[in-house]
Amino acid sequence: MNGFVVTANPPAKTEEPVVTNDGWFPDMDPAKVRDACRLDGTVTTARLRPALVDAMLSVNDELQLFKASSIEAGHTKLADVPASMVDGKSAKVQQYMRAVHYCLMADLAEAYRNMASLPDGSGKAGHVLERLVVEVDEHRRKQRWAIADLKGGRRSIVELI
């Protein structure tokens, strides 16, 4: 039996410097983010870094009131905010990282949906785009949950229409 199997050749690993945060929120290591988010070689270092910075800024903006009240309570960084410890890390830090990861994945999925790599014929492109929209929505939902968990709030908001 003869067969041809195509495998992705990941790019050679390059040293990716840590993305420093504002001093209160934790810094993010792009290599760890790449592993946690299961990003393959299609997301280059040149694309990952600005996308990670944008995700961090977005989550930081959503947490400004939480940060201000925590600083007022005497907590000099997120890791100092009282929280349970899991795997040697503050739950608050892990929730922050989870929010950034899901924000990043949603942003990347939105950006890559514009690439001309959609299949042709039989409406396949429509199915792929529909699936991407669902994926982006799931990432945004998980981002909101992580932020709500970090703030100690509820995950869902019910509104009478």
pLDDT in tens, 138-153: 999 999 999 999 998 8
Of 33-47, 102-116, 136-150, the one with minimum mean pLDDT is 102-116
Q: Give the residue carrying structure tokens 């992705």.
A: 8
Q: State both tokens at 59.
A: 């989550």
| pLDDT above 90: percentage of residues in the chain | 59
Q: What pLDDT is stored for residue 147 in this prediction?
A: 95
Integer-rounded Cα radius of gyration of the chain? 19
DSSP for residue 87 = T
SS3 53: helix
Alpha-carbon distance of 142 to 161, in angstroms, equals: 24
Alpha-carbon distance of 143 to 102, in angstroms, equals: 5
> Of the candidates 13, 14, 22, which has an alpha carbon nearest to the alpha carbon of residue 68?
22
User: Which helix (H) or strand (E) segment is 89 a member of?
Assistant: strand 89-90
The amino acid at 122: S
How high is the mean pLDDT of the chain? 85
Q: What is the dihedral of CA 60, 94, 52, 7, to 10 degrees?
A: -160
pLDDT tens digits, one per residue of 24-34: 999 999 999 99
Higher pLDDT, residue 8 or 66: 66
